[in-house]
Chain A
Amino acid sequence: MPLLETTMADHDLFPGENNTGHVWDDNIRELNNPPPRWWMQGFWLSIIWVVGYSILYPTWPIGDEPTPGLLGWSQIKEYEQGVERIEAKRAQFEDQIRNLTADQILADPGLKQYTLASAKVLFGDNCAACHGSGGQGNPGYPVLADDDWLYGGTTAKLAETITGGRQSLMPAHKAILTEAEVDTLAHWVVQMNETGGEGGSEAGWTLFKAKGCVACHGQTANGHVVDLPNGDFIGVGAANLRDGIWRFQPGGYESARHTILYGVNQKDVPETRSAVMPAFAEPAGKLSEQDIKKLVVYVHSLGGGM
């Protein structure tokens, strides 16, 4: 017997029970019950919905672009409007910031809050690669979260640094000093470092002064060439040798010796330390004055601003 044997309605063996006339295996038949009413209502409603939707919103892919829809809505437009709204919100703050100095911003909790939030992105894009996401520094790149500043930690100095970049010089002393002198100086630097500047040997001090180190590292070896009455100082980027912070990692005797022998940023010395910060201001860099102002506030607040 064929699998699908149908007996049509005119000789329906089960009259009056509302079947479709399809009968299998003598007595299994398909009843013709309508779907529940709520189901049908939902069905028609969803069709109406689709029609309404496709009139109002982009739907049919005809040509390169879908049909635009009466509302003119598109995802990219919604996105752009969102950006516009955000920009409008930001504009109030940006306008205020434009007319203030970094110090004034730092003194205003609300503006400071905004600036920190907004500069976080700038810092991540421009500074974090070398100085670390939180200003924690990297070997060769100074920590920004401490209060040991090579060029000064006031907002003015920070702005100067970011704007023009920095590149200091330290001569290589391999040819200038004897092996013994280098050894004495390197030990002296370690002693100074460990004792907060109090425990440097006599011999070290003598060499430090006689060999010209004072010119850059300052009379007291704190890296200040001239101390200004306002607490700030003039420096050339020479490290403060009186505190426990090492300019070049990992620090210690070998590290100090290496720096003394080969100097910093010496063109013809392959072993020299490299310490270059590029200029970030337009046109050399890509930061506007406003961006730099915000970054100054950000860096100043990392933990060591002066």
Chain B
Amino acid sequence: MAQLKTDPESTTPVAVDALYAEADDWHVNAGGQTIHAKRITGRWRTIKWAMASVWLIYLLGPYVRWNGQQAVLFDIPNRQYHLFSVTVLPQDFWMLSLLLLFFAILLAVMTALVGRVWCGFFCFQTVWTDIFTWIEERLEGPPAARRKLDAAPMSREKLKVRAIKHGLWLLIGFLTGFSFVAWFTDAPTLWWTFFTGQANGAAYITVVLFTAGTYVLAGFLREQTCFWLCPYARIQGVMLDRSTIIPTYDEHRGEPRGRVKHEEGGERTSGDCVDCNQCVAVCPTGVDIRRGQQEGCITCALCLDACDQVMDKVGRPRGLIRYASLDELEGRRTSRLWLRPRVWVYVLILGLSLSGILYGLTSLAPLELRVLHERAPLFVLQSDGSIQNKYTLKILNKTHESLAVRVRATGHDDLTLVGAEQPIATAPGGVTPATVFVRIPHQALKAEQQPILFQIEASRTTGEQAATERESVFVGPKPRPD
């Protein structure tokens, strides 16, 4: 029992009490208290709205038309993905991996350079929570009033305000889910089918899940999502380095903090921080930025606005809290953006994935050919003495029109192609299988295996020729030793 009392003289277990003392100081935001952040105007607030408005694309995008069709439509039942005039089929989905790579690296590069900008400005969790609390403020008033209302017993007035608030939240949740579904089906039609009970079951389930998810996440969980649920929060945290600029409190300038004392009259003896707590009051995650960089800070920069306002009032220069890197704050030399190897590596990967996608989009071939060589049997001897191989051609027609595809096979002088005398009719946007046979006289075969090239070709209504080819193999018996 006495391991902790290492010092025989001492009767107090020093080590463990120090831990308790530290734990006292260590406040974990587990959501016990709703954070009612103050809303103020300012430069960063404006930037925040501007950035958040990117999400209008998500809400309005489905209604954009292109050539009489929905411009962007992820048509899952038909396995076709329309992006303006380009149609992408599942066969082209390698581009999706590049796209995901692009955004993953973009997230990484942004985080390495300017911290969790995604969290602070773009993340749907942040943006939706922002909108939800904006509604809350319109209806229930500033933070003090909201806290009072929270504590007040239920009354007609409270009920009314709350009902409107939750109604609006649910409405936004619904619009969020509905807009999501609208990317996957004809949007204007959806407005009709959805409310007449004719929409796909998956559409209703999705909308219900999104509505509930939005309502709970933005209405109740809020910063708790960032603290405890979001994996990005953790990943992004480790992508910062000494040269990353993030909202930072300039300790050297601010400390020792002290309240403004009017009776003093003369010069301020303490640092620039007047300990007004405004930076904490505006923080949507309840963080005190003056305690240094911490997991709860989503770098929304709202405390910058708050502090700048205060600095203006007390006649001090702005930027006590500002975007700064650890290096800058510690007076180290900060290296230029383009001198950091990390930036180059990121840019290289970004460039490669982007050019891959561009290459893919510009070279989407109208026809694609797969050739399956029959294995049972690999070959048969025909009664005329020729060796016959069987092939299944899988012709993918990626155009919007039916194409009559002509097939040719080359690779041996005495080869006969059977089964492709007539052009093969292929339906738009799908795979048409066709069975063909290649015959080569037995005596003419020199090797057990030899390559055969299948070429397909079709004329489009535009007059263009669509063509592609694929190599397969011709198998025969082992040549006689003579």
Q: Among residues 97 to 154 in chain A, which have CB atoms less than 8 Å away from a CB atom of chain B? A: 109, 113, 132-137, 143, 145-148
Asked whether B380 lies within 8 Å of A143 as measured between CB atoms, the reply is yes
- In the complex, what distance in Å separates the CA atom of A146 from the CA atom of B32? 79
A216 CB, nearest partner CB in chain B, Å: 18
State which of A17, A28, A304 has its C-beta within 8 Å of the C-beta of B380.
A304
Q: Among residues 1 to 55 in chain B, which have CB atoms less than 8 Å away from a CB atom of chain A? A: 1, 4, 13, 16-17, 20, 30-32
A46 CB, nearest partner CB in chain B, Å: 14
Judge whether B413 is part of the interface by a CB distance below 8 angstroms.
no
Asked whether A26 lies within 8 Å of B388 as measured between CB atoms, the reply is no
Instruction: Report B-chain residues with C-beta under 8 Å of the C-beta of A196.
Output: 384-385
Asked whether A34 lies within 8 Å of B32 as measured between CB atoms, the reply is yes
Known interface pairs A25-B1, A34-B32; A146-B228 also in contact (CB < 8 Å): no
Judge whether B433 is part of the interface by a CB distance below 8 angstroms.
yes
A162 CB, nearest partner CB in chain B, Å: 20
Judge whether A244 is part of the interface by a CB distance below 8 angstroms.
yes
Judge whether B220 is part of the interface by a CB distance below 8 angstroms.
yes
- In the complex, what distance in Å separates the CA atom of A290 from the CA atom of B156? 74
State which of A41, A244, A302 has its C-beta within 8 Å of the C-beta of B442.
A244
- In the complex, what distance in Å separates the CA atom of A103 from the CA atom of B435? 17
- In the complex, what distance in Å separates the CA atom of A26 from the CA atom of B13? 9
Known interface pairs A37-B32, A301-B435; A27-B13 also in contact (CB < 8 Å): yes
- In the complex, what distance in Å separates the CA atom of A242 from the CA atom of B20? 100
Q: DSSP class of B's interface residues: helix, strand, loop or mixed?
A: mixed
Q: DSSP class of A's interface residues: helix, strand, loop or mixed?
A: loop
Instruction: Report A-chain residues with C-beta under 8 Å of the C-beta of B17.
Output: 27
Residue of A nearest to B33 (CB): A37
From B127-135, B308-316, B356-364, B371-379, give the one contacting chain A: B371-379
How many pairs, one residue from A and one from B, have CB atoms within 8 Å of each other in the complex?
A: 88
- In the complex, what distance in Å separates the CA atom of A301 from the CA atom of B433? 14
Instruction: Report B-chain residues with C-beta under 8 Å of the C-beta of A71.
Output: none
State which of A1, A133, A147 has its C-beta within 8 Å of the C-beta of B376.
A133
Asked whether A145 lies within 8 Å of B385 as measured between CB atoms, the reply is no
- In the complex, what distance in Å separates the CA atom of A303 from the CA atom of B437? 7
Judge whether A155 is part of the interface by a CB distance below 8 angstroms.
no
Judge whether B425 is part of the interface by a CB distance below 8 angstroms.
yes
Instruction: Report B-chain residues with C-beta under 8 Å of the C-beta of A34.
Output: 30, 32
Known interface pairs A36-B30, A134-B376; A28-B382 also in contact (CB < 8 Å): no
> How many residues in A have their beta carbons less than 8 Å from beta carbons of B?
35
Known interface pairs A1-B1, A38-B31, A41-B220; A146-B381 also in contact (CB < 8 Å): yes
Asked whether B16 lies within 8 Å of A245 as measured between CB atoms, the reply is no
Known interface pairs A25-B1, A146-B388, A147-B383; A37-B224 also in contact (CB < 8 Å): yes
B285 CB, nearest partner CB in chain A, Å: 14
- In the complex, what distance in Å separates the CA atom of A135 from the CA atom of B390? 12
Asked whether B442 lies within 8 Å of A143 as measured between CB atoms, the reply is no
Residues 378-406 of B, flagged 1 when their CB comes within 8 A of A and 0 if not, give 00111111001010000000000000000
A121 CB, nearest partner CB in chain B, Å: 16
Asked whether A37 lies within 8 Å of B383 as measured between CB atoms, the reply is no
> How many residues in B have their beta carbons less than 8 Å from beta carbons of A?
34
Judge whether B229 is part of the interface by a CB distance below 8 angstroms.
yes
Asked whether A245 lies within 8 Å of B383 as measured between CB atoms, the reply is yes
Asked whether B30 lies within 8 Å of A147 as measured between CB atoms, the reply is no
Judge whether A243 is part of the interface by a CB distance below 8 angstroms.
yes
Known interface pairs A36-B224, A37-B32, A244-B442; A136-B381 also in contact (CB < 8 Å): no
State which of A36, A137, A243 has its C-beta within 8 Å of the C-beta of B228.
A36
Instruction: Report A-chain residues with C-beta under 8 Å of the C-beta of B16.
Output: 27-28
Judge whether B101 is part of the interface by a CB distance below 8 angstroms.
no
Judge whether B221 is part of the interface by a CB distance below 8 angstroms.
yes
Q: Among residues 181 to 216 in chain B, which have CB atoms less than 8 Å away from a CB atom of chain A? A: 216
Instruction: Report A-chain residues with C-beta under 8 Å of the C-beta of B375.
Output: 134
Instruction: Report B-chain residues with C-beta under 8 Å of the C-beta of A134.
Output: 374-377
- In the complex, what distance in Å separates the CA atom of A136 from the CA atom of B225? 63
Asked whether A145 lies within 8 Å of B380 as measured between CB atoms, the reply is yes
Judge whether A161 is part of the interface by a CB distance below 8 angstroms.
no
Judge whether A240 is part of the interface by a CB distance below 8 angstroms.
yes
Asked whether B13 lies within 8 Å of A143 as measured between CB atoms, the reply is no
Instruction: Report A-chain residues with C-beta under 8 Å of the C-beta of B433.
Output: 113
B254 CB, nearest partner CB in chain A, Å: 32
- In the complex, what distance in Å separates the CA atom of A245 from the CA atom of B385? 9
Residue of B nearest to A242 (CB): B383
Asked whether A136 lies within 8 Å of B13 as measured between CB atoms, the reply is no
B377 CB, nearest partner CB in chain A, Å: 3
Known interface pairs A27-B16, A303-B388; A37-B382 also in contact (CB < 8 Å): no
Which of A1, A27, A35, A137 has the most CB atoms of chain B within a 10 A radius of its CB? A27
Instruction: Report A-chain residues with C-beta under 8 Å of the C-beta of B385.
Output: 196, 243-244
A-B contact pairs, 6 of them (CB 8 A): A27-B17, A36-B31, A37-B32, A109-B424, A113-B433, A134-B377
Nearest first, the 4 closest Cβ-Cβ pairs linking A and B are A134-B376, A136-B377, A36-B30, A37-B31
- Assuming A27-B4, A147-B383, A304-B380, what are 9 further A-B pairs, CB within 8 angstroms? A25-B1, A26-B1, A26-B13, A134-B374, A148-B383, A243-B383, A243-B384, A302-B390, A303-B388
Chain B residues with a Cβ under 8 A of chain A? 1, 4, 13, 16-17, 20, 30-32, 216, 220-221, 224-225, 228-229, 374-377, 380-385, 388, 390, 424-425, 433, 435, 437, 442
